[in-house]
Structure 1
Amino acid sequence: MKEEPKGVGRMWNLYKMGGFTPAIASMLGSQNAQQMAFIRSINKEQRKQSLLDMPLRELDIVVFDLETTGFYPSNGDEIISFGAVHMKGLELNESRQFYSLVNPKRRIPRQIIELTGITNEMVQDAPDLMQVLHDFMEFLGRRLLLAHAAGHDKQFLNAALWRTSKISLNHRVLDTMLVAKWLEPKRASYALDDLLEDFGIPITERHHALQDSLMTAKLWQQFLIRILDRNITTLGDLYAYLSKH
């Protein structure tokens, strides 16, 4: 892992010793210090609520996806785009979307450019990670997160939160791949493309963070109908069933 710059280490030591806001502001800059404080407050608030008793028909969800330069944040791979859309129960609110490129401050590998269509020129003037993470957390609020094959996205989101704000994600993350494995245990493939095709969901632009979020949201709509048909009505009930598979 890369060693933290001395200034960042000193800032964090000051924060742990009492949170000297002027000292943090002088090292990070006042805007970054405010963004860090906001990210930490959103994450802290999330610990105060439990969504387990919430009816699935009323559950506020943010379906999200990240595009990255590779698979391993611990080896220097970075987020290059965030995409997300809001749902409440079965209702997909396509007007409430979030999308932003991120300047990864490193070169994007050729294979990632070919996969995502995101070039080095496109991210050159994009906002940095702290700014986009702040905006994403503001969009997210205290809602449940949902993604397909969520391990990758959660790993990068956790790494980003730790690097910028020294926190780990408190939000619950529901994985549509795990739901698919529970609903259809004998499927040959749980890849997003195959699930979209089999459920009759038009494939628009794959490996675009916002488009992947929208398609995953439409997949979740169909899964949720089947879940409710099984008389599973709360998030806690769903987690209980998923834990057995």
Structure 2
Amino acid sequence: MNNQPGFDGNLKQFMNRLFNLGLKRGEVPPGSPGSFQHEAWIRRLLKEKASRRADLNTRLEDVLFIILDTETTGFRPEHGDQIFSVAATRIKNRSILGEFHSLINPGIEIPKEISLLTGITTNDVKEAPPLDEKAEEILDFLSGGIIIGYHIAHDYSFLNHYLWRRYRSSLKQPSLELALLMERLTGSGTFPSLDSAAKYFNIPCHNRHQADADVKIMSSLWRNLLRLCIEKGIETLEDLYIHIK
């Protein structure tokens, strides 16, 4: 038996890390928490989970797409900027299967210019849970589908920075950029902002730069784009990837 001070606390912390990754209790292996073998095992299992997704021959109506947006205190997670709001919607065959939204306590002040943009202040997130407490729920909601968003690289960079810092891992599933999809599927030039894309389809833009509101806009946008796919004879994932190359 290990009687070192803090061992039980370290074990509990490590087990929580595993469950935050979406692992079930029966999947947790025996051994020493924090060991190289454990970290390697986690990465391997996450990779296996990520591989259980639709292949290129899957018809679009059978693919789960997950619309994602985050609000952050800045643009540089490596310089300490943090997530303070996360929202996502699961869509299959143009039907909404589920919605998620949570404010996050970033542990730092939200800059005034960001509050002016989003309408969310430091006081608004003071009682919100930290990202550590919501990570399991967020990762579970994002699992099993293709993630879509406007300027999705920004959202990925923040989530992956967190995952790497905490678990030495990252999101493995594919993502699609809505701005590129708009350009390729409409053939009407570039759409540098979500506002410009929404205007094309006459989608109302209320409460812009709030994650839950932006996800609602992007969900309407994606369902319109799926309709265009049907009109253009784009039936499978492979057809879609070829069309947007």
Pairwise same-fold verdict (TM > 0.5): yes
Matches of 1:203 and 1:37, distance apart in 2:
34
Aligned-residue offset at 1:186:
4.4
Aligned-residue offset at 1:71:
0.7
Matches of 1:178 and 1:113, distance apart in 2:
28
SS in 2 for 1:168: coil
Q: Is the 8 A contact 1:102 1:126 kept in 2?
A: yes
Query: TM-score under structure 2 normalisation?
Result: 0.81
Aligned-residue offset at 1:210:
1.0
SS in 2 for 1:114: helix
> Structure 1 residue 172 and structure 2 residue 174: aligned?
yes
Q: Deviations over 1:43-91 (max 9, x none)?
A: 6401243432221112111111000001111111111110011211222
Q: Is the 8 A contact 1:143 1:171 kept in 2?
A: yes
Unaligned runs of 5+ in 1: 1-21
Matches of 1:113 and 1:232, distance apart in 2:
41
| 2:3 corresponds to | none
| 1:33 corresponds to | 17
Query: TM-score under structure 1 normalisation?
Result: 0.81
Aligned-residue offset at 1:172:
1.1
Q: Do the aligned partners of residues 87 and 51 (structure 1) sit closer, same or farther apart at CA in structure 2, a change above 3 Å counting?
A: same
For 1:122, the aligned partner's letter is: D
Aligned-residue offset at 1:140:
2.2
SS in 1 for 2:113: helix
Aligned-residue offset at 1:114:
0.8
For 1:75, the aligned partner's letter is: H
Residue correspondence of structure 1 range 94-243 to structure 2 within 5 A: 96-187=98-189, 189-243=191-245
Superposed CA RMSD in Å reads: 2.3
Matches of 2:119 and 2:155, distance apart in 1:
19
| 2:38 corresponds to | none
Matches of 1:174 and 1:232, distance apart in 2:
16
Q: Is the 8 A contact 1:196 1:215 kept in 2?
A: yes
Aligned length: 220
Q: Do the aligned partners of residues 177 and 92 (structure 1) sit closer, same or farther apart at CA in structure 2, a change above 3 Å counting?
A: same
Q: Is the 8 A contact 1:158 1:168 kept in 2?
A: yes
Q: Deviations over 1:103-155 (max 9, x none)?
A: 11111110011111111112122111122221111122212111112111111
Among 29, 34, 53, the alignment partner of 2:57 is 53
Unaligned runs of 5+ in 2: 1-5, 24-41
Percent identity between the aligned chains?
A: 30
For 1:160, the aligned partner's letter is: Y
Q: Is the 8 A contact 2:182 2:191 kept in 1?
A: no
